[in-house]
Structure 1
């Protein structure tokens, strides 16, 4: 989503979720809900065939991506593009749904990468990269093929428009997450920049491209650069993006335990979502990147890339 500030609700074990409950009959007709923040958290109780549609508007229209959970008699799940076969992703998921209990899932999207996972698990079991990314503003849900369903859908307020900061002439904000990413350079700090740490001066949350990756790191205004960590080293970047107008919370965690409301803030060269983390180190509070499959938060510090298993992660509130 471009030009929008994204907000959400807090981490399940620290904050309160707000859920909308609904029933879907056995008729394969989508009910659409506005979404914001690049994530859709839900629980579903159904014997098979829980379907979701990701769209720009509140109806079925191209481009559209569909996620089918527990199809083909609750034996496999797929991602389908524009209602056309063959499916772009297909995985075996025997008994992924249950008619007698709610089971939780999440769908995330960032820079055209769509991932689907189970509640409480950071790793996705389905992933697809849309070559022509489109804004996802609505998610539709339905059941069919002999199944009706009970859903618990986390409320997601529509994203408000970011006002243009007075005196700011940078390009428009980009991306999604608990705020907006505003392009900047040379140590510039855009209005409403989100503080992320301290090292003799205020540090801000930034990200920059390096080696085909988009990597969260720290902006040090007096140095005129943002620093990111990659390949064991700290890399200065004169061109970067700064997280602005965010309303996030810092949640303690460790390893690859990613809270459901952690918003993707970048991606590795392999397409894995990266998140914003920070650690206390050598009298500083330094932001960096969380790489879930590695189980570490990496920070750029003293010319090095330093790894920490215990850290705080930024989640939307």
Structure 2
């Protein structure tokens, strides 16, 4: 049985990426127009890439594009294919250079194109735009990352969430998802961006008996957390999915009511999720109230900043 991951895309044409191991993805989308799907080698927009636009041009046609350039490789009239008031189901497949898309329950694609120069697909991105936002339900195969409860620590860690069967109790606004090796789960909360413009995701990892908020840099294949004056790379980590993205400026030990708890120190002190602007980046890290700063990991170091933004529930 596949896991269904729910998340939303804004009217901004900004792709949210997640890793795939099979040659297809199935999803339901509720949007007025312009459901865009990207197929890429890495978790960002870069050539080579395929794009499938469903319900573009005012929900009148669908196209397949390569490397973000016109002319379209193929286009089909698909009037009314999307609906802002109800979910519509689709699939996208790629096999030996043949990229195709079809409706849920139909085996014949409504659009298909064969690339004479195929490349391996490692990530799928989704977005909406041109006046439309979207709500997605994406099917993830059972081999995909398991979902861990919000605020929970790994099993056996002090204060870990109660477990029913193999599934921790999920509560609150958002979930922490166990992932490895640079993977970005669907709906991951973007906390900032690296100097290169690559998105940084809100992540956390275990270190020295603590659960420490930090940043996921997908292209590096790991998350980074600040601790003990140094930056520590972690190939096993958790990413915040479907959670809040409301950042409030504060400073020192002023933790506003409703701040989002993201972990705890080795002494059991709650750690919150903060971010700062530093050398052209917006970098997420940990806020430790007793220290009066937000710590980030940057260029191998742990750096503390008294002025920062904090993530709210």
TM-score (ref. length: structure 1): 0.47
> Relative contact order: is structure 1 or structure 2 higher (C-alpha 8 Å, sep ≥ 6)?
1
